[in-house]
Amino acid sequence: MEVLYRDSNGEFLRPTFEDTSDKNFSWGHLSRTSQALALAARALKDVPVEQYSKETGPSGEYLELEWSREIDWFRPGMPWRGYIPGLSADNPYGWFNEFTATAWGLAWLDRDDQHGYVFNNAWRDACLNDLNSIAHCCATIREHGIYPSGNPIPTPFADNITGTMYPSLHAAEEQATTLKRHMLDSIAFVWWFKEMFENWTTGLPADVVDRVNTWTAGLTVKRGFLVDLTRDWESVDIARLVACDVPVIYAWTPAEANNPRFQRLSPAFAMAYWGYVDSIPGGREGYFGVPDLRDRFPDVMNYDSFLQNGMAGFVDDGFRPGPEWDSRRVFVCDFQGWRRREITDLNVKRALRTRYYARMLWIETDRVILYWRFRPRPTTQGSTLMDEDADEERVHEIRALHQFKYAPHSGRSYDKERGEIEYPRPVSTPLHPHVARHTIQENLNTRRRWPAHPSSPSSRSGSREARRMAPYPRSPEQRQAGGNNARLDNEVLPGERPSLASRLSDAVTSPPPPSLAQRLSSPGANPTDDTLLTDAHSVSSTGSALFQDAEPDWRMVALAEWTSSARTWSKPMFPSFPTVTTGEACVWNPVIFEYGVLQVRSCETDVRLRLHAVLQGPDATLEDILSWAIHRGLRFAIGYPDAELQRFLPAIVTEADYAVGNLYNGIEHDPDLEWTRGATDFIARWRAAATKVLLRPHARAAVFLGGPISWISRLFRGDELIADAMMGPSVQVTVHRKGDLDARHPDTLWYDQLSSSECNILYGFIPGDKNKPETDKTLWPTEAQLWECLSAYSGTWSDVCETIYASIWSKIEQGLAEPRTKGGWNQFLRNSRYTEPAGLRPRSADWEHADKEIDTHFPLAREWNGKRLTDITLPLEYQM
């Protein structure tokens, strides 16, 4: 087995390393030529290419990073981009790779009679002909070749630029560069396809084969890829890229240095091997001829060329399928962490049967065979590594051909042993009851904090740090005077209240409404806005009521139009999250709504609660609003006046209720978790400690903490914990007068409370060096880290949160999860598959706008914070 990489000449490629100003970050180069990196390259690692800055220079190229010219990060959905023709005199010249001069300087632009700019007719026609030709090649490869029809190809250029006049020289230059990008992207695809697959011509018409050969003739230098090893190793094929002379530059950080999977790519290994080779005559030596190399780097030989160690933890049960299995359904997991793929070819079934380990499993009602291609059975030489059959079975081609459908990228992950989807988990076979409720979100909303947010509890923090809103109560006069503490941002909206006419015709927040004549003549018309919340007050139902009398109810017209507008501007505040239901036991205790007091812990939660109630329309009930808040993972609390606590006492206070008072004597009883015997032992200890915490009477407080704490807690107790929370305070408060006390409220409120050590237990907190907080570790990312690193998080649970935490839970269930430092979680959360925002994050001005709109039009919705639940009136009345 080879542990070094060979170039296209079969020569071992010597890696080089480039230091940066950050001592914990360097670049490793696997390239025969030196590569210059854009200054912004490192910062763009986890940024989708579509979100790169679009600011352009004189010739229309992107200033931040021009991906069609400069080496960019590996993207699993576009593996051909490493084959973009590089900036080199060795590549033939074409109109599409000229970026050094402007189109104006090359006489590609003409002035028209209106003093604008147009493309030279001959140049424009030549460009469009080339673009159509290469786009036809790409489409034909997918439709008729060996390339699967569901796989992606470059997006063809589809704009009509014939006769287009550009008002400025720069606008024309930008359009010319757009043409070049489309052309280079398509040339990269056909070049990649031609080099990646030996029988690439299969099924293709002769004229397409000729055109592909023409487009790639003379091309030698490729752009290459930047690679995040930790993120990309399951999809990228480094060995194949290097063998095709595609420059590969990888980020080297402590995360990679501490992972034995990447030992062969380390600076230390390169120095040990090549330092010895340089010292001997002839300059060549086998790996095992280097003194002490195997002892110094024992993990190198455990991983194959795909950086897999499929045999780790595997125990051969002796099962060897016979020929009778060739007539049954057969599946294969081609690579570690990939989805299983069904095999129908009899010859392939026979080859798999003689080479790889297998197991029997049930798929629905079928008993099938699953082979692991990453677990080859020992050869005559005793090797069990995948490299043995790389040439014979063209495993590199299998990887390139099937990675789009079967590789774990874009938020997908697969079970290593069964090849089944691990996340997002199918509802029919849930990972656990909580995860089964949700599906992955296609388009994620983005996040920006409005005010400061509470830090996550840790052993280094004292009492609860949840930020309270303005003192109770806050009057409308105080709000209008700008004297409330909840608004911490200096951004303000115009203070003048607009007239009804201007609000109804506001073109900034919503499309212009139809005229009154149109509304009167179309009583059945219904807006097409997407519904954010179910059972909301619809415009169509309002409209039907308007025409029962001769004179329309203008207040209802205004309400309908305001609701339609609000659904549009509030969408980023309600990230996609499927409707969930709870068990029959989850029923609110009516006494809570007589004496309970609502406390919201953040301005975002305050706005979301009130806005949700508004959009629910006449069907809104406080019980439904608070249940919705729990399932959304919002952080709020219900306090209970000291004078009314006796109403929540158990019917019979048992000796056990009195005995748990020993938990509330102010002494910390939960020792810190420790890492002593590896992942399996730690996870077992964490489960036991978390279960102990969540069986305590006051564990119901976790439900109201929202975010990760609520989610993790429900893994253990599910709806039972929610049912406890809906019954009122625990004996921590009612019997022992312990917990959280809010003496600032006129009624002196009590709340159940988890201690900081209990929260640490739930997060799986391991303290590090006392003087180095950065060495602390947790088994789960904390809520503070979500705010800091997760672009989609804005204080409410969403599909992307579900994706992240369910994938971690899956690793925990398998005994494979390990605690990470804050820096480790930051790197994990910045992974590109968790940052797929669609649209703008809610800004400070957005929250201010929503707050002001609610106050203006629904005055009864003011000041929910600190208000008795019995004083919150629903449904809310609209005021014009």
Domain final residue pick, 200, 223, 246: 223
Select, from the ranges 8-22, 182-196, 437-451, the one with the highest average predicted confidence (pLDDT). Answer: 182-196
pLDDT at residue 782 above 90?
Answer: yes
Residues 497 and 411 in one domain: no
Residues 770 and 647 in one domain: yes
Query: 686-689: which pairs have CB atoms within 8 A and are 24 or more residues apart?
Result: 686/761, 686/764, 686/779, 689/761
Reported confidence tier of residue 256, pLDDT bands at 50, 70, 90: very high
Listed as own residue / partner, the contacts of 577-583 with beta carbons closer than 8 Å and 24 or more positions apart are: 577/438, 577/441, 577/632, 577/796, 577/797, 577/798, 577/799, 578/437, 578/438, 578/439, 578/799, 579/534, 580/437, 580/438, 580/631, 582/627, 582/631, 582/719, 582/722, 582/723, 583/719, 583/723
The whole-number pLDDT of residue 382 equals 53
What is the reported pLDDT for 340? 94
Answer yes or no: is 302 within a domain.
no
The answer on 824 and 773 residing in a single domain is yes
Domain that holds residue 401: 323-425
Residue 408, pLDDT above cutoff 80: yes
Assigned domain for 285 exists: no
Q: Based on the structure, what is the number of domains in the chain?
A: 4
Distance CA 763, CA 457 (A): 9
pLDDT tens for 19-38 read 999 999 999 999 988 888 99
Is residue 461 pLDDT above 60, yes or no?
A: no
Alpha-helix runs per DSSP H in 660-730: 679-694, 701-705, 707-727
Would 716 be classed as within a structural domain? yes
**pLDDT, tens digit, 9 for 90 and up, residues 567-582:** 888 888 888 876 666 6
3-state secondary structure 17-30: EEECCCCCCEEEEE
- Quick one: 715 and 789 in the same domain? yes
Please list the helix, strand and coil fractions of the chain in percent, rounded to the nearest 5, in that order: 40, 10, 50
Per-residue pLDDT, 440? 29
DSSP 310: T
Quote the mean pLDDT of the chain: 81
Residue 106 CB-density burial (10 A; 0-12 exposed, 13-18 middle, 19+ buried):
middle
Q: Closest by alpha carbon to 331, among 375, 376, 377, 371?
A: 371
Last residue of a domain, one of 170, 194, 223: 223
- pLDDT in the model for residue 288: 56
Q: How far is CA 630 from CA 595, 624, 719, in A?
A: 20, 10, 11
Give the model's pLDDT for residue 86: 92
Same domain, 532 and 418: no
Q: Distances in Å between the alpha carbon of 715 and those of 420, 702, 718?
A: 22, 12, 6
- Is residue 488 scored above 80 in pLDDT? no
- 106 and 131 assigned to the same domain: yes
Assign 3-class secondary structure to 107-146. Answer: CCEEECCCCCEEECHHHHHHHHHHHHHHHHHHHHHHHHCC
Domain co-membership, 868 together with 781: no
Residue-wise pLDDT for 332-387, tens only, equals: 999 999 999 999 999 999 999 999 999 988 887 788 999 999 999 987 555 555 54
- pTM for this prediction: 0.53
In a domain, 309, yes or no: no
Reported as a single tens digit per residue, the pLDDT across 605-650 is 999 999 999 898 888 899 999 999 999 999 999 999 988 888 998 8
pLDDT given for residue 550 in this prediction: 43
Query: pLDDT band at 48, cuts 50/70/90?
Result: confident
Do 77 and 158 share a structural domain?
yes
Read off φ and ψ for residue 70, nearest 5 degrees: -105, 145
Tell me which of 155, 190, 223 is where a domain ends.
223
Confidence of residue 694 (pLDDT cuts 50, 70, 90): very high
* CA distance linking residue 180 with residue 98, whole number of Å: 8
Q: What is the band of 283 on the pLDDT scale with cuts at 50, 70, 90?
A: low
Q: Does residue 181 carry a pLDDT above 60?
A: yes
Cβ atoms < 10 Å from Cβ of 33: 13
Residue 276 lies in a domain: no
Burial of 277 (0-12, 13-18, 19+ CB in 10 A): middle
* pLDDT at residue 381, rounded to an integer: 54
Lowest mean pLDDT among 268-272, 444-448, 670-674, 682-686: 444-448
- Quote the pLDDT of residue 1: 65
pLDDT on residue 317? 85
Same domain for 91 and 218, yes or no, is yes
The residues that bridge with 761 in the sheet, in sequence order, are none
Residue 245 lies in a domain: no
Q: What percent of the chain has pLDDT over 90?
A: 45
Same domain, 806 and 737: yes
Span of 99-108, 623-632, 824-833, 846-855 with lowest mean pLDDT:
824-833
State what percent of residues in the chain have pLDDT above 70: 80
Tell me whether residue 809 is in a domain.
Answer: yes
User: Which whole number is the average pLDDT over 157-181?
Assistant: 92
d(Cα 18, Cα 562) in Å, to the nearest integer? 58
Across 217-244, average pLDDT: 95
**625 and 647 within one domain:** no
Residue 828 lies in a domain: yes
599 and 694 belong to one structural domain: no
pLDDT digits over 837-861, tens only? 545 568 888 888 888 888 888 888 7
